[in-house]
Chains A and B, each alone.
Chain A
């Protein structure tokens, strides 16, 4: 299929349709509303389910229900709405039913604003809900990746029977750029729903799906199973992209829109003679810690750049374990850091690590 000029949110919505989503339950919130609007038109056209729920709380529980019924299902929201969904996310993770969630992140905390932000990194990768679990979190850096990761999110969610989130900042949701949509995947017919799903106990024992496990030993067993699954995901599904890292002395680490901006920073810095590379995590969870640990032995310092106060920074520090200095530059409130402000930070880091060597 040819490239077309697509808006991020609409592209994400259409990508879900191409990925065979059977149902969408959601609630309007800026800057993700176009996902819901696009699906409100397209899903009925395709004979599939669209429902505008009364709240994000209801949306995620509708998703939970449809997932239990074995349907391919999703919701989308933006930061405050995701906060409202957290209880349901935890239930879905514990019940081990597959679901996909889109977060078009906006500025926070509180009502914040509707500017692009990466302030939900902690929430997405560490505190998605109560209890011990992680979502799989995919972070696109452009509209094409947003499209691709929607399909990937469904595949991963179903492969591991878990919840997968595509976390993009508002800039990716709102921007238009050329991208290519994948071909339409066939929708799985209801009679082919998984054997664990709630489809009516016809000619079999009845199924139940719960996240309640009374008795400490019982719940510990469930938790150990979930942990084993997370370990498997962490072993198999880490994804990242690298730019000019082969000979790099310094490393930029950034995801999403900032990761894309840092590609420009790498070009401009190299033109000035600074030997810098970029690692851009694609999966925020699982995090490319092992690769960062390797690079920490190659480079003399890292600069983490985010649209938050330093959230992914902590994961970089954990991966690096003090092997090299790790500096941070971030903008808050929905401000997107530009190459002109990142370059001086890189200069500072270059001077510092050079100075450290001389001393």
Chain B
């Protein structure tokens, strides 16, 4: 990408964070992964930790995240990002380590790894993107798919009698003593995006302060596999997903509360 000269009489108000590469993402138009990537990158820049950050990408739509983050990154096996991040962090305690995981990755195949890493209080940060569906494989039922939601593998809608209930991961992880900051946010509108960024920043700050495991669950959309337009998808998520997945903190340990500025 060519460098754009800024005319002298104009002020630069918005630019690509250094923690993002110039690569064009492969995400579908309307997808919120790009927004979440950017928020993480802005936070890494603001905290000045880009050069000591190691990220772990999942299997799922964000499998190629290592092309988009301008930090050292590894690509994990499906669900194993928290184990891989543990391996990295334990031999690199001075680095900032994060995982970026979708709902199939974190809440189905990787349930053991995320719970155990959180419970050990691993000094890593997990960004958990919940869009209630398997995106990359073409729209199958996820552990987070809502009751009655139609997917390619629940063609008549998720039947809780046979498929069980959607997993509320932020609540599940929040009760573990090793997790010091767990929150659920949504990138469905501008105020939500701003709150999500704040949460991501706090999660990384908790890691930097050596307090314990931190996780930000982000309610996201998949307009392609939901068969909706991007705007309609945002509205659907607000109406249906946020109703099942309440936004807000499920765990704020005392040390994190202090970082937040008391209360």
Contact = CB atoms under 8 A, between A and B. Distances in A.
Interface of A: 22-23, 25, 49, 51, 53-55, 57-59, 61-69, 71, 73, 87-88, 91, 190, 198-203, 206-212
Interface centre among A57, A88, A201, A207 (most CB of B within 10 A): A201
A201 B86 contact: no
Interface in B120-168: none
9 contacts: A54-B112, A58-B80, A58-B86, A61-B113, A64-B74, A67-B87, A91-B77, A199-B54, A199-B72
B75 A61 contact: no
Contact of A209 (B71, B74, B87): B74
Interface string B74-97: 111100100111111011100100
B72 A66 contact: no
Contact of B92 (A51, A61, A64, A69): A69
Interface of B: 21, 50-54, 56-57, 63-64, 66-67, 69-77, 80, 83-88, 90-92, 95, 112-113, 116
A170 B146 CA distance: 49
Contacts, number: 132
B75 A208 contact: yes
A108 B85 CA distance: 32
A324 B2 CA distance: 69
Contacts of B63: 212
B88 A208 contact: no
A199 B54 CA distance: 7
Contacts of B85: 65
A51 B52 CA distance: 23
Contacts of A55: 112
B88 A66 contact: yes
B116 A68 contact: no
Given A58-B113, A68-B84, A49 B91 contact: yes
A91 to B, nearest CB: 5
Contact of B51 (A23, A61, A200, A207): A200
B87 A201 contact: no
